């Protein structure tokens, strides 16, 4: 009965979201986004990117296609994937079946290190577009600072100038690696997607990126539940204060830091829950309490090995 009541509450909350967002942003949902209009951030080139998107890491096969289809039906418009996720075809199928106007979507995919270099990047990009079934990508990222980064970036600059990519960026780049890339780049990265969650807050990295005019996007905002995030007493107490879940508190904390993020789930109720973050605000005391959770180190050391791009 308790589970049913929670689902009923979430359904009610979601139906009210367009009006909540209108009150927060002055915008109303358009006909292309019937569920809600998620606020956006503006990239250095003027492209607008939703602050809240849908991550797809590990969502493959039928589960991947159904999850993306559900997310789109609920109102998500930013879909994040990568070549290494091996689910671009499933995402493309979900997009086509949704009937949503391509211009209403924001699709991100990423270049894997084995395809780095000028020619490899060109081939990998065309392969990703074919699998996704689109004629342009909204945001294309170098997934990790490994391999021939400069060659890859030169190819991405050309694809951007040709109109095949609306915005280009990187992922998992340290400030020193960004500086090294910018030394030879003709176009600066517009986005840097990095690990940020309450246990690894990366405030200095955010400041360094923003000083360069680079938007920061948080991956794994829930740290995949590591360090018992979903039962953390600090986050739980803040959630109780606002009648929100730990997940909602975490996403709202990111929004109020000016960050966009891409939480992932295959559960419809959790997708809805993640959308319901625009009707409350954390106060200064809440933000300060969350700041005390920062361990100042990654919770994914296994992913951060062999960072080889030179910093000089």
Let me know if 85 is a catalytic residue: yes
With a CB cutoff of 8 Å and minimum separation 6, the contacts of 99 are none
CA distance 214 to 192: 7
Active-site residue, selected from the candidate residues 85, 118, 140, 160: 85
User: Cα(258)–Cα(203) distance, rounded to whole angstroms?
Assistant: 11
What are the residues whose beta carbons fall under 8 Å from the beta carbon of 225, sequence distance 6 or more? none
| Residues labelled as active-site residues | 85
């Amino acid at each position: 009965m308790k589970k049913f009541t929670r689902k009923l509450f979430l359904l009610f909350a979601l139906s009210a979201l367009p009006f909540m967002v209108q009150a927060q942003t002055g915008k109303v949902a358009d006909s292309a986004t019937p569920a809600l209009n998620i606020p956006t951030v503006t990239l250095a080139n003027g492209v607008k990117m939703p602050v809240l998107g849908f991550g797809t890491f590990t969502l493959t096969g039928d589960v991947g296609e159904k999850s993306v289809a559900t997310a789109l039906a609920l109102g998500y418009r930013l879909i994040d994937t990568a070549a290494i996720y091996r689910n671009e075809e499933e995402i493309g199928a979900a997009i086509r079946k949704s009937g949503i106007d391509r211009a209403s979507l924001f699709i991100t995919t990423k270049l894997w290190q084995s395809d780095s270099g000028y020619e490899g990047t060109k081939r990998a990009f065309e392969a990703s577009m074919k699998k996704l079934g689109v004629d342009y990508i909204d945001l294309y990222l170098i997934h990790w600072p490994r391999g021939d980064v400069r060659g890859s970036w030169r190819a991405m600059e050309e694809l951007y100038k040709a109109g095949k990519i609306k915005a280009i960026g990187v992922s998992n780049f340290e400030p020193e690696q960004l500086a090294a890339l910018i030394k030879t780049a003709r176009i600066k990265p517009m986005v840097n997607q990095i690990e940020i969650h309450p246990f690894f807050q990366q405030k200095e990295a955010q400041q360094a990126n923003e000083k360069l005019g680079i938007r920061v996007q948080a991956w794994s905002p829930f740290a995949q539940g590591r360090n018992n995030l979903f039962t953390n007493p600090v986050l739980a107490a803040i959630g109780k204060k606002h009648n929100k879940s730990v997940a909602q508190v975490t996403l709202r904390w990111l929004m109020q830091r000016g960050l966009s993020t891409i939480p992932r789930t295959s559960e419809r109720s959790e997708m809805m829950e993640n959308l319901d973050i625009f009707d409350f605000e954390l106060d200064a005391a809440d933000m300060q309490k969350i700041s005390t959770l920062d361990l100042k180190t990654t919770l994914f050391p296994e992913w951060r090995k062999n960072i080889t791009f030179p910093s000089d």
